[in-house]
Amino acid sequence: MAFKDFLKAQQNNIREYGMYIAFVVIVVFFAITTKGLFVSSRNIGNLVNAMSYIAVLAVGMTLVIVIRHIDLSVGYLAGFLGAIAAISMKYWHLPLGATIPLVLALGVCAGLLTAFLVAQMRIPAFVATLAGWLGFRGALQLATRSTGTIVIENPTFNALGNGFIPDIHGITFLPGIHKVTLLLGLMAIILFIIGEINNRKKTQAYHFEVLSLNMFMLKMVFISAIIAVITWVLAGYQGLSWAAVILIFIVLIYDYVTTKTVVGRHIYAVGGNPEAAQLNGISVKRITFFVFGSMGLLTALSGMLYASWLRSATTIAGAGMEFDAIAAAFVGGVAVAGGVGKVTGSILGALVMASLTNGMNLLGWDISIQYIVRALVLTGAVIFDVQTRRGAK
Amino acid sequence: MEPEAEATPVVEMRNIKKNFAAVQALKGVDLTLHHGEVLGLVGDNAAGKSTLMKVLSGAYIPEEGEIFIEGKKLHLTDPLHARRLGIEMVYQDLAIANNLDVTSNVFLGRESVSTRLGSFSVLNSRQMEQEAQRLLDRLKIDIPSVRLLVERLSGGQRQAVAIARTMAFNSKVIIMDEPTAALSVAAISKVLDLVRELKAQGASIIIISHRLEDIYSVSDRLIVMRNGRKVRDCSVAGDIDDFRERVVAYMIGARDDFAREADTVAV
């Protein structure tokens, strides 16, 4: 392969590495300016909890944008479904085991309703979900009108957004360090290394190119080190939070589905060229229903995470969350034109945006300045994205 | 002059009629394609050649007429149905997804899977990559890697991917609608080489083109259409200038081999 072709093939990676580098720069900047407060165990733990509900939305939004649509309704839908969860437990006296499936199912229904408007009635997603934005806002107010803010008392539910995974007690070694978190981090590293080695072996067996052995080792050491550092930092406070566990779980599932399964490939095909996809026997309608259905499911999850984090359902819950999720997706490299963007990229985008907010708060920056900085980062990320994409052609 | 009496033709279309509102787009067209043959289909704009091919590829359903594939009479219902029967169409606007890599495009909508779970079936990526690579090698298509995104390929390479895709499965007929339109001269010659390669490997091809020199250089036989009718059906022979002159005469209506039946239709 000629060097030029190699560079061409690397274009995607360059975009992706650019995001990682930007993230590292942000972290280092805040670590220095806050004198280490930003990277303290406690702050990182809070940061993850505070970003999880946006990140979950961003995962769903990624796929929606990939198939060339948008969903403006998810913020208030999340707020409304969070209220339903609170009402279900507090006034309907449904157990948690019934509440969670009920809310998730309602979320899927709401998503399918949007899909019906978009795919069946051929209403532009912007309009259909703008209607949803209005409608769910009204629904949220109706649901909370008689009660105002509903305080949630179910400790298990509240643990979703605030709690941490349990630790093994009675081990004296490494006091103050969360052992289960360390163990999970170690397992993650081992699984990652085994997975990479297997993948490399299989790829070689098919006589395809792989990274040079040195680069491969470097990559493995680098990523293992990152996992190790994050694990160590989290273990220093109360360990891995339930929100983080849920988020990791969602990312793993969605990353797998989008990159390794037929439906994932069809989603990207529809995003790239809907007419071509249709001509090749892919039902654009079905994919649209699938993607909005998944968006609804994740919105329900996000709404519950948010309500749990606040330990209550408020009358304005979810306001503006849709735009945070959309911004996270764009910062994470999802292309407005559709067809391009990874779930992992959007998570990174959400992490970048949440880190900015968190860091600037620690520094005591004025909220108005914060908005402007975030605006600049969003614009800068998309300019970088567009430029690298254009350079690739 | 023709190997008419030979084995059953791959495609036989008889008396195909298709109307769009008051317009008679096809006024009873016959078309025969033999095994391993390249058939050129030419005509001025609105002569009906694309309509005829859309009938064959299942996109249009004709009002009248019969279609036989390898001697079996068929009623094509939609493009997917036609494709399952081995009729592959290379569309003028290519119908490929630029955001996906070469392999994904070759197998688009027909992915091979390692674990069957409906929509969640797991893609057998490496096997597809390997097969795509073999396919490109077999057809002597010069693309550095099957992992390249199609948007990074040249126009000619994209056309090659679109054409190669038709050979990935057991196709009986490959229809190409203006495969050389909007390509550079170098890319055109590569696409024509590819058509010859497909023919050498036994494919039966129908090729629509405005470029008579392309038709001349790859086709065994030629059909000229005009105003929804076939006006000429002959083998491609002679030197290029004569050929062009004669074909143009048929295209503009100066000559017509099937005029007798037409006279009764025309005013």
Q: State the CB neighbour count (10 A cutoff) for residue B198.
A: 23
Q: For residue B50, give the nearest of B29, B81, B77 by alpha carbon.
A: B29
- What is the rounded average pLDDT for all residues in chain A? 91
Residues B34, B6: Cα–Cα separation, whole Å: 9
Coil, strand or helix at B52: helix
Q: What is the ipTM of this complex?
A: 0.85
Q: Which amino acid is at A26?
A: I
> What pLDDT is attached to residue B208?
93
Whether the per-residue pLDDT at B261 is higher than 60: the answer is no
> What pLDDT is attached to residue A13?
64
Of B97, B117, B148, the CB nearest to A8: B148
Instruction: Please give, rounded to a whole number of angstroms, the shortest distance from the CA of A22 to a CA of chain B.
Output: 25
> What pLDDT is attached to residue A11?
57
pLDDT band at residue A213 using 50, 70 and 90 as cut-offs: confident
Q: For residue A109, give the nearest of A294, A379, A277 by alpha carbon.
A: A294
| Secondary element (H or E) of residue B30 | strand B23-33
At A205, list the tokens.
Answer: 């067996």
The tens digit of pLDDT for each residue in A344-357 reads: 999 999 999 999 99
Residues A43, A37: Cα–Cα separation, whole Å: 7
pLDDT band at residue B255 using 50, 70 and 90 as cut-offs: confident
At A16, list the tokens.
Answer: 């992706």
Whether the per-residue pLDDT at A324 is higher than 90: the answer is yes
- Region of poorest pLDDT, from A119-128, A281-290, B64-73, B180-189: B180-189
Whether the per-residue pLDDT at A49 is higher than 70: the answer is yes
> What pLDDT is attached to residue A392?
52
Distant-in-sequence, close-in-space partners of A13: CB < 8 Å, separation ≥ 6: none
Domains of chain B, first to last: 11-265 (3.40.50.300)
Question: Does the distance separating the beta carbons of B98 and A262 come in below 8 Å?
Answer: no
Percent of chain A at pLDDT above 70? Answer: 95
> What pLDDT is attached to residue A12?
57
Whether the per-residue pLDDT at A303 is higher than 90: the answer is yes
Whether the per-residue pLDDT at B266 is higher than 50: the answer is no
Assign 3-class secondary structure to B130-195: HHHHHHHHHCCCCCCCCCCEHHHCCHHHHHHHHHHHHHCCCCCEEEEECCCCCCCHHHHHHHHHHH
pLDDT band at residue A7 using 50, 70 and 90 as cut-offs: low
pLDDT band at residue A140 using 50, 70 and 90 as cut-offs: very high
Q: Which residues of A touch B147 (CB under 8 A)?
A: 9
Q: Which of A263-267, B7-11, B46-50, B244-248 has the highest mean pLDDT?
A: A263-267
Query: How far apart, in Å, do the first and last CA atoms of chain A sit?
Result: 18
Edge-first strand order for the sheet with B64-69 is B23-33, B11-20, B64-69, B72-74
> What pLDDT is attached to residue A5?
53
Whether the per-residue pLDDT at A125 is higher than 90: the answer is yes
pLDDT band at residue A215 using 50, 70 and 90 as cut-offs: confident
Beta strands in chain A (DSSP E): 150-151, 312-313
Q: Which chain A residue has its CA at the smallest distance from B165's CA?
A: A280
Query: Is B235 in contact with B221 (CB distance < 8 Å)?
Result: yes
Higher pLDDT, A294 or A175: A294
- What is the rounded average pLDDT for all residues in chain B? 87
> What pLDDT is attached to residue A352?
93
Interface of B with A (CB under 8 A): 79-80, 83, 91, 93-100, 104, 108-111, 113, 117, 119-123, 125-127, 129-130, 144-145, 147-149, 151-152
B238-242, Cβ contacts within 8 angstroms, sequence gap of 24 or more: B240/B213, B240/B216
Question: Mutation test of the interface with chain B: which of A16, A279, A291, choosing the one with the most B Cβ atoms within 10 A?
Answer: A279
Residues B116, B102: Cα–Cα separation, whole Å: 23
Give the C-alpha distances (Å, rounded to integers) separating B257 from B24, B234, B254. Answer: 20, 10, 10
Q: Which residues of A touch B119 (CB under 8 A)?
A: 261-263, 266, 290
Whether the per-residue pLDDT at A151 is higher than 60: the answer is yes
> What pLDDT is attached to residue A89?
96
Q: Which of A357-371, B54-68, B125-139 has the highest mean pLDDT?
A: A357-371
Pairing relationship of beta strands B72-74 and B23-33 according to DSSP bridges: unpaired
pLDDT band at residue A9 using 50, 70 and 90 as cut-offs: low
Pairing relationship of beta strands B72-74 and B64-69 according to DSSP bridges: antiparallel
Residues A270, B104: Cα–Cα separation, whole Å: 12
Give bridge partners of residue B233 from the DSSP assignment. Answer: B223
The tens digit of pLDDT for each residue in A236-261 reads: 888 899 999 999 999 999 999 999 99
For residue A385, with 0-12 CB atoms within 10 Å meaning exposed, 13-18 middle and 19 or more buried, which class applies?
A: buried
Taking residues A24-31, what's their average pLDDT? Answer: 93
> What pLDDT is attached to residue A3?
54
A:B CB pairs within 8 Å? 101
Give bridge partners of residue B32 from the DSSP assignment. Answer: B12
Instruction: Please give, rounded to a whole number of angstroms, the shortest distance from the CA of B195 to a CA of chain A.
Output: 22
Whether the per-residue pLDDT at A393 is higher than 50: the answer is no
> What pLDDT is attached to residue B91?
82
Percent of chain A at pLDDT above 90? Answer: 72
Dihedral (C-alpha) A243, A74, A271, A379: value to the nearest 10 degrees? -80
Percent of chain B at pLDDT above 90? Answer: 39
The tens digit of pLDDT for each residue in A375-386 reads: 999 999 888 888
